Amino acid sequence: MKQTYNGWANKVQGLLLLILCMILFSCQKDFLDKKPDKSLLVPTTLKDFQALLDNTTIMNASPSLNMIASDEFYTTGDALNSLGAIYEENAYLWTKDDPYQGNRIVDWELPYQQVFYANVVLEGLRKIPADTYSQSQWNQIKGSALFFRSFAFYNLAQEFAKPYIGSSASTDLGIPLRLTSEVNAKSVRATIQTTYDQIIADLNLAQSLLPLSANIKSRPSQMAVQALLSRIYLSMGDYVNAKKMADTYLSSNNKLIDYNTLTASGINPFPPAIPSGNDEVVFYSALIPINFEYSSLTIVDSVLYRSFSTNDLRKSLLFLDNGGGIINFIGDYTGLAYYNFGGLATDEVYLNRAECFARNNDGTSALKDLNLLLQNRYKKNAYTPISSTDMNVILSAILNERKKELIARGTRWGDLRRLNQDSKYAITLKRIIYNQTYTLPPNDNRYVFPIPDNEITGSGIQQNPR
């Protein structure tokens, strides 16, 4: 980690112009115009710090290798070989030995880059006492930095650490928790428990500092914190707190898109989420672009596709049937072509709460949330509400719809990892490439990605077993 931090620190501390020139917001020009001297490029004002956090290219990106490794998409052997990225091919095949082949891994490096920028901001804020006129802006910037750091830590933990298991969380290895921009600070892997405790503590503080909502959806808000905490608590099996966070979120924002108002087409039918489109999106993030995502031969799992009924509008809005069994995914909540959504949205929060209700044996409330969501996904007057008193049936229906509704958002891998803990929902993943079968059994070590070799060499932290 010191190696990675050194690389970023040298660029940021000496040449922040290279970072800030990527910022997409209008404040970028003002900031650069006022600081032509490179010796003055280290951010020192609230405007500088906000500009650094508004760099959507860096701050609003989420890991994507887990999407390759999950069970939503399939491809052919020839298409796999043509990707031109061996680590993508190996992620798809769950290769055990040396899956990265010496390549640097963006899924590891970019979140820690987000952490570094957040730490630069948090440390800089300590040198700027807030006054009556700047307190609100100061609070928002600090809350945003805490949110971005927590989001990065959580995403890293989903790929490079074991899933949260209460009985072993205090001894299982988590991720390095970089809480300073100091490049010489030694990197050590915290435990899983410490990792999650840090994430949750930072988010609770962020929630007290941020505004309820954000006009620009690439910026964090209280509702974004609540949605993220609901996801995190669900991953921990803490259904009480996951429901509490979902309740709080939905009390302020419960609007769902009626898919009947959208038009199916060969391009993304959803409105762009940023700066303020798509009513369901509360925080914008896009999955890191990968070749697997762009390939026309990355095909939606046929079983998953067939699970959508004719009257389910998601079948035509999310997918494009090119014939010959080639089904491509197009309907992404970014609202952009070729960018998969990796942020937070209301539909996920409804599914989180529905599962919590079911886990706590409240089938009536669980079905109320689930049916409300699905009524907005089906053709008008074509949806028959699910009705059952069997909690196993209800929970299975919720988990099935979760896989369908949240396709290509980077959440499926985390769901597989947590559901593997229960034999009723654990599954073995399978690929067939050139007549050779590859499998990933439940709870296999390969559900944890190895830490890149350059990090092991540079910092000496412990590698994950494969």
The string of pLDDT tens digits covering residues 420-432 is: 999 999 999 999 9
Which residues form the domain of 112? 2-265+270-275+341-459
315 located within any domain: no
69 located within any domain: yes
Q: How many domains does the chain have?
A: 1
State the pLDDT at residue 4.
55
286 located within any domain: no
296 located within any domain: no
C-alpha pair distances (Å), 296 with each of 131, 293, 326: 54, 8, 8
The pLDDT tens digits for 187-201 are 899 999 999 999 999
83: domain CATH number is 1.25.40.390
319 located within any domain: no
421 located within any domain: yes
88-92 average pLDDT score: 97
The pLDDT tens digits for 155-177 are 999 999 999 999 999 999 999 99
The pLDDT tens digits for 281-317 are 999 999 999 999 989 999 999 999 999 999 999 999 9
pLDDT of 120 over the 60 cut: yes
317 located within any domain: no
Nearest to 343 by CA among 277, 396, 267: 277
81 located within any domain: yes
pLDDT of 13 over the 70 cut: no
